[in-house]
Amino acid sequence: MSDLTRMTATEIAGLVAGGETSAVEVTRAHLDRIAAVDDRVHAFLHVDSEGALAAAREVDDRRAAGEELGPLAGVPVAVKDVLTTKGVPTTVGSRILEGWRPPYDSTIVQRLRAAGTVMLGKTNMDEFAMGSSTEYSAYGPSHNPWDLARIPGGSGGGSAAALAAYEAPLAIGSDTGGSIRQPGAVTGTVGAKPTYGGTSRYGLVAFSSSLDTPGPCARTVLDAALLHQVIGGHDPRDSTSIPQPVPDVVAAARLGATGDLTGVRLGIVSELVGEGAEPGVMAAFRESVDALAKLGAEIVEVSCPNFRYALPAYYLIAPSECSSNLARFDGVRFGLRVGDDGNRSLEEVMSLTREAGFGPEVKRRIMLGTYALSSGYYEAYYGQAQKVRTLITRDFTAAFDRVDALISPTTPFVAFPIGSRTSDPYQMYLADLYTIPTNLYGGPGISVPCGLSEGLPVGLQIMAPTMADDRMYRVAAALESAVGTFTPPAL
Amino acid sequence: MTTTLPAYDEVVARYEPVIGLETHVELGTNTKMFCGCPTDFGGEPNTRVCPVCLGLPGSLPVANKAAIEATIRIGLALNCSIAQWCRFARKNYFYPDMPKDFQISQYDEPLCSEGYLDVEVGGELVRIGIERVHLEEDTGKTLHVGGATGRIHGATESLVDYNRAGIALVEIVTKPVPGTGALAPEVARAYVTELRDVLRSLGVSDVRMEEGSLRCDVNTSLNLPGEEWGTRTETKNVNSLRSVERAVRSEMLRQASVLDAGGRIIQETRHFQEDTGETRPGRSKETATDYRYFPEPDLVPLAPDTAWVAELKAALPELPRLHRRRLQEQWGLSDLDMQSVLNAGAVELIEQTVAAGATPAAARKWWLGELSRRANETGVELADIGATPAQVAELQVLVDAGKLNDKLARTVLEGVVAGEGSPTEIMTNRGLEVVSDTGALTAAVDEAIAANPDIADKIRSGKVAAAGALVGAVMKTTRGQADAKTVRELVLERLGAQG
């Protein structure tokens, strides 16, 4: 048998279903790979070998008993440490939750288990999903398999690195401002942010409730679509979940893979090209646009004038919600507690716990948000940002009256060296310049590898109307069929 | 405050009070506001909890439809307009009995607003304006141990019970009520009483003040006639109807004494002391609290369907005040008689007894007579006396059938209250039935005549009034189980005298 870790999820599932390999064998191969490379990549915060092997055995038993298995049964998956996993540590990349073992599974993880996928462990991330490089993880950064001295993107850099390092064929991320798509772009993998409400947030440790969206990460568009189909759909435990079935993203990916985009109209967003982007990124993007045109797509340019306000609006809305969402980390009920020596007041213990438990970026955002929501400032900051959000949504809906999907580079620059941007938060925030508008609007977006710049991957972003996730998969699969996939140098 | 308080009459002669009431009602929904945990009172600490009401990372709230329905019904009963679209909001503050360190409440978009409730005080109707009715979640309970006061200050340990956290809570806020003068304390009490009755008639809460399912904060201020309203204080820990009245009165007296001395009223939270009937200042807040309200992003906006609201409105029960008026007419009671029924807390009991077959007069007689007397003696609410309306109705059936006389009926009722069973069972078990066997009665009468020849002679000679002595003797030998009227007829008959 050729190397199981180099296969796509689709291939692995086929082999398991056909009895040509077992889920246990597949799982062992990936656990071995993790053992071999993860000390250099640091994609994982926790590897659950026992749990993974037990889940794999169960799949094999079910198959032996003649049960019909789902399309991803026996396929290993790495889960971003932002999702609760019953009995398995969930830290959100923060000291404040070190050692916490949740008493319940998130909906996404429940669905992964029900589908017979095998959870390998929990992946590294910027603390509370705030960051674009994993450098804000309390447990140290992950490394980009393309160049270990560079960042793998963030916040979901661990999931993306795990894919690029062949430690897992599938991974789960969460995207608040680009945390699935930007890591996908800089690691040469596929990352999809579903429509807000298309995937359940129940059990996703909240950063910004109105923006957070869990979604699939994979090395191919079809694999991402298969994973999307498994985790998506209405969840009565999440009030903001949309009570509609998942658009048929798998069929759309298969259709796109035929390489025909005749009749599809794509809009390049004027505001998301050029300014601030590295020349190599723009070159790869332009070549991909030509490739899309060759597949039959009609390419037009579309202006979304309010996108220029997306970044400032985002940095008011997300911190505001985070300042409230993160209040519960007070040392009273779970996680870290500092200074409870019997002499200190409750307020002091809460303060000491939060002081010690949160990292600098989290504190920065809590303070930003606390200020933005303060009486007297609310209208000028939070209120104004919500108005901008409405304007951005209008830009999207107006654009989608003219085109089927919008395209842009996923991020202005390729993977940067570790340590090169941490001293300037604004430089770090720019990594999400192109991905944030989609979050404010709530529609789906996907990053698909489209080329290399100086030997490092570049991603192309496709944005679609809300609940038209299938549309972006079709375009993404078509592009993939034209430009192929990208393999990092051996570790 | 050691200064002597001024007399109430003088206070209301000099100052005009303005009152306002904020009432929290725990809804009687089976499950909590945002999760499926049960809500029954009691239970071991932290056993009625789940990731949602514990605010565990990743958990999300889902609004309870039954609670929304109950809130809309309360709003409708209080003549409010119901919002066509509104949102929950987060009220942010750190406190350990708040699992998320924010409370899901409503801020500038309450579900119900701009209503009123008419209450009767001294035969007059007073209209209390309702500012808003909104829905929120209750907090847990903190127990501070090791200190002298039970307060957090000085305690060595604080224990938190989250069983109550997340129970659906409705807040009902009145508009300021000026112009009630000396009646202000009574108006406050009448309002809470009427509100409680309305909530009970809606069946949305068990409205027990002593268990905390109905909680009341009382705002009071005084001003000189013709001048602007004064600074108000908010009195908490008002746990009974009587306390509502006392709290307003005591706060009026205290504020007057401060103002009389040239002092200034501080806007503050005060605590009512049940034992002394006074209010004491709460822990003063060092800084003004900024709750940083913002719309709750984890919940979708509420948009109650207009047709649904109309349906709920059409199905509202009769208002307690109108219901009472109708009962008064049906029962043929004077205002004074009705008032004594109200004071005894017997309206529903009598109503149910009548529904179980008794006449209004009989039902009223038992509840206001024997049972009220016993309730007073033992210090329990009439409704908790241990006799049900059905049992009282059954008792009356036995009396009407001649099986029990008045005295025996009281004895049977005693047994009912003691939990011995139904009136019929007690009558049978204790052998209390009226002796209606005339053979046995005649024998007893003859025996009495033989034992009292002098009296018998008097009766024979026409002194009919002397019959009472023989009747008494017969009643004694039959242990009261004979019908006195029948005995008297028999005595006269045996002695050949005319009644």
A interface test, pick of B56, B87, B152, B156 with most A CB neighbours within 10 Å: B56
d(CA B155, CA B151): 7
d(CA B404, CA A468): 81
In chain A, residues with a C-beta closer than 8 Å to the C-beta of B102 are 324, 327
Backbone φ and ψ for B280, nearest 5 degrees, come out as: -125, 150
Rg, Å, chain B Cα set: 30
**pLDDT band, very low/low/confident/very high, at B470 (cuts 50, 70, 90):** confident
**pLDDT band, very low/low/confident/very high, at B430 (cuts 50, 70, 90):** confident
pLDDT tens-digit map of A363-379: 999 999 999 999 999 99
**pLDDT band, very low/low/confident/very high, at B158 (cuts 50, 70, 90):** confident
Query: What integer pLDDT is reported at residue B235 of this predicted model?
Result: 95
The chain B residues in contact with chain A (CB within 8 A) are 51, 54-63, 90, 92, 94, 96, 99-102, 152, 156, 158, 160, 290, 292-294, 297-300
The mean pLDDT value for B65-80 works out to 98
In chain A, residues with a C-beta closer than 8 Å to the C-beta of B156 are 342
The mean pLDDT value for B234-260 works out to 94
**pLDDT band, very low/low/confident/very high, at B27 (cuts 50, 70, 90):** very high
pLDDT at A303 over 60: yes
Reduce the DSSP state of residue B22 to 3 states and report it. strand
In chain B, residues with a C-beta closer than 8 Å to the C-beta of A206 are 57-58, 298
pLDDT at B196 over 50: yes
**pLDDT band, very low/low/confident/very high, at B240 (cuts 50, 70, 90):** very high
In 3D space, the residue among A61, A168, A47, A55 whose CA is nearest the CA of residue A114 turns out to be A55
Percent of chain A residues past pLDDT 90, beyond the cut: 96
List chain A domain ranges. 4-271+273-303+401-483
Query: What integer pLDDT is reported at residue A421 of this predicted model?
Result: 92
Helices B484-494 and B467-477 cross at an angle (nearest 10°) of 120
pLDDT tens-digit map of A415-474: 999 999 988 888 889 999 999 999 999 999 999 999 999 999 999 999 999 999 999 999
Percent of chain B residues past pLDDT 90, beyond the cut: 64
Name the minimum distance, in Å, from the CA of B59 to any CA of chain A: 5
> Where do runs of H (alpha helix) occur along B276-371?
306-314, 320-331, 335-343, 347-355, 360-366
For residue A97, give both structure tokens.
């939750």
The mean pLDDT value for B88-115 works out to 96
Task: Answer yes or no: do B290 and A201 touch at CB < 8 A.
Answer: no
> For residues A208 and A321, is the Cβ–Cβ distance under 8 A?
yes
In chain A, residues with a C-beta closer than 8 Å to the C-beta of B62 are 236-239
pLDDT at B435 over 80: no
A363 a catalytic residue: no
Task: Answer yes or no: do A205 and B57 touch at CB < 8 A.
Answer: yes
* Residue B231 to residues B130, B260, B268, Cα–Cα distance (Å): 20, 15, 9
Averaged pLDDT score across all residues of chain A: 97
Name the minimum distance, in Å, from the CA of B65 to any CA of chain A: 12
A243 or B465: which leads in pLDDT: A243
In 3D space, the residue among A445, A450, A441, A454 whose CA is nearest the CA of residue A486 turns out to be A450
DSSP string for B154-218: T-SEEEEE-SSTT-EEEEEEEPPB---GGGHHHHHHHHHHHHHHHHHHHTS----TTTTSEEEEE
> For residues B25 and B75, is the Cβ–Cβ distance under 8 A?
no
d(CA B432, CA B410): 11
**pLDDT band, very low/low/confident/very high, at B1 (cuts 50, 70, 90):** very low
The mean pLDDT value for B470-478 works out to 85
Query: What integer pLDDT is reported at residue B266 of this predicted model?
Result: 92
Backbone φ and ψ for A6, nearest 5 degrees, come out as: -90, -5
Task: Answer yes or no: do A202 and B56 touch at CB < 8 A.
Answer: no
Query: What integer pLDDT is reported at residue A483 of this predicted model?
Result: 97
pLDDT tens-digit map of A210-268: 999 999 999 999 999 999 999 999 999 999 999 999 999 999 999 999 999 999 999 99
pLDDT tens-digit map of A388-420: 999 999 999 999 999 999 999 999 999 999 999
**B438-494 CATH fold:** Arc Repressor Mutant, subunit A (1.10.10)
Task: Answer yes or no: do A202 and B99 touch at CB < 8 A.
Answer: no
Residue written as token pair 């907090």? B139
Averaged pLDDT score across all residues of chain B: 91
pLDDT tens-digit map of A67-96: 999 999 999 999 999 999 999 999 999 999
> For residues B190 and B121, is the Cβ–Cβ distance under 8 A?
yes
Query: What integer pLDDT is reported at residue B282 of this predicted model?
Result: 79
The mean pLDDT value for B79-98 works out to 96
Burial class (CB in 10 A: 0-12, 13-18, 19+), A120: buried
A216 or B464: which leads in pLDDT: A216
Residue written as token pair 């990208």? A486
Task: Answer yes or no: do B51 and A103 touch at CB < 8 A.
Answer: yes
A209 a catalytic residue: no
- Which residues of chain B are in CATH 1.10.10.410 domains? 438-494
pLDDT tens-digit map of B285-298: 545 689 999 999 99
A481 a catalytic residue: no
For residue B210, give both structure tokens.
């002593």
Percent of chain A residues past pLDDT 70, beyond the cut: 100
Backbone φ and ψ for A463, nearest 5 degrees, come out as: -115, 135
Handedness of CA A138, A140, A146, A150 (dihedral sign): positive
Per-residue DSSP letter, A194: P
Query: What integer pLDDT is reported at residue A320 of this predicted model?
Result: 98
A40-49, A92-101, A288-297, B319-328 — which is least confidently predicted?
A: B319-328
For residue A202, give both structure tokens.
């129940």
Backbone φ and ψ for B346, nearest 5 degrees, come out as: -110, 5
- The CATH number of the structural domain formed by A4-271+273-303+401-483 is 3.90.1300.10
CB-nearest to A202 from B55, B60, B63 is B60
Interface of A with B in 271-330 (CB under 8 A): 320-321, 323-324, 327-330
Reduce the DSSP state of residue B152 to 3 states and report it. coil
Query: What integer pLDDT is reported at residue A4 of this predicted model?
Result: 97
d(CA B9, CA B2): 20
Query: What's this model's pTM, rounded to 2 decimal places?
Result: 0.88
